[in-house]
Structure 1
Amino acid sequence: MTGNPAHPARPLIGITTYREQTRFGAWNSSADVLHATYARSVEAAGGVAVLLPPQNLGAVEVMARLDALILTGGADVDPARYGAAPHPRTQSPRHDRDAWEWSLLDAAEAAGRPVLGICRGLQLMAVRGGGTLEQHLPDVVGHSEHAPAPGAFGWTPIRTEAASLVRRLIGEETQVNCAHHQSVALHPGFEVSARAADGTIEAIEDPDRPFWLAVQWHPEYGDDYGLFRGLVAAAAGGSAASSAR
């Protein structure tokens, strides 16, 4: 980035969006939408939010102009991408998002951009690395506290791993809001950096990259912007740890 040294440019943070049938004003149409909490969290952390709707081409060009990437929550990743048959509770795949966000990750990796995955974003990052998912978490942990009802968050205590980036950004223990019925099972290339009390993987990070981090919860709905500040600091060319609490 360039800018006046006295007023350095704010990093441009790309955020992937949903594509949904949406009613707004007099219209009921397919629209590219995203919860405003994502952009507000980026702004609060000192970045500029740039929304990235699903597209067929352009990931390389987009990442050449952006300083970091956030992969947002949403529908389940297509099980075919990790060689599995769909579970009866797995949602219909969104092939446009899977392909676009996969391409964005390829481009971000090639360009050396920091990445923060959130919920579905964590799962896509793990699958792209050769991992697999538990397609219906209640089958594994015996409860639905991670996603108690449609449109409702569960509250889950987590503990972060010592010396991990996520610990430096949010602390050793905290309670997080989550809404996921799937979870990561295998995660080649990533280290687990946080777990819930029931053992569910809640954060992973790539130890070979300065900021390639993903969390299973929804930090954009909280009031602790540590993860976003870390991403913005890394996007600005600084140390994510410098933004830690």
Structure 2
Amino acid sequence: MHSSIKGIATATLALLLNYSANPAFALPQKINHPVTVAKSQPLTDTLIVPGERVGPITRTTTKKDLVKLFGASRLVDKTISGPEGIGSFAATQLNLNRGRSLLVVWSDNTRTKPLDVRNLAWAWKTREGIGVGTPLSELRKKLGNFKIYGLEWDYGGTILLDSSKLSRYQGKLILRVDAAPNASEKFPNDYRSVLGDSTFSSSNPHWKPLGIRLAEIIVVLNPSEQ
């Protein structure tokens, strides 16, 4: 374990280990959400309530409930990698248009207890207005000054909520930011200054030219007991 992680609260570390070390978290911007041809059931509730629900998906929602809510044609079952690439988790992709796609990760293959909801598209927002694509400047207005893990490692860009105004979401919400695709080429010195397994203040001037935006949201519903 990297020495810089040792100071994190145990609950936070457990969440990062259980929910971060897989392709869905590490490269959210590269995940393709298939376009649904058939009309989706109207979904006006796109509110994220950390630890409680993502729209109509709650801590007790099952795969059968998803079928009733959205129809089987919009669901795709899959398996994603477990912590550090060891083991795997059952998951169900929900394909909805207008930026409402998401992935439900289950506690086991029965798909009756959701661990978390991730790969949230841009329409999903918290009550504070935080969603995928929110720029760093807006995050600082809503979270205050906070700490961020450096880029390009297992937990790159992860926001330490316990250092923010939204510390009440600790253990219920995982947020990860990333730089614009061409940032490393356009601003190599600034980019290199915020790399690696160290923490950096959100007010660090090297973030400013990099086009930092929220790249990934994971809403924890039933924390893993592993």
TM-score normalised per structure 1? 0.26
Larger RCO (CA within 8 A; separation ≥ 6):
2
**TM-score normalised by L of structure 2:** 0.28
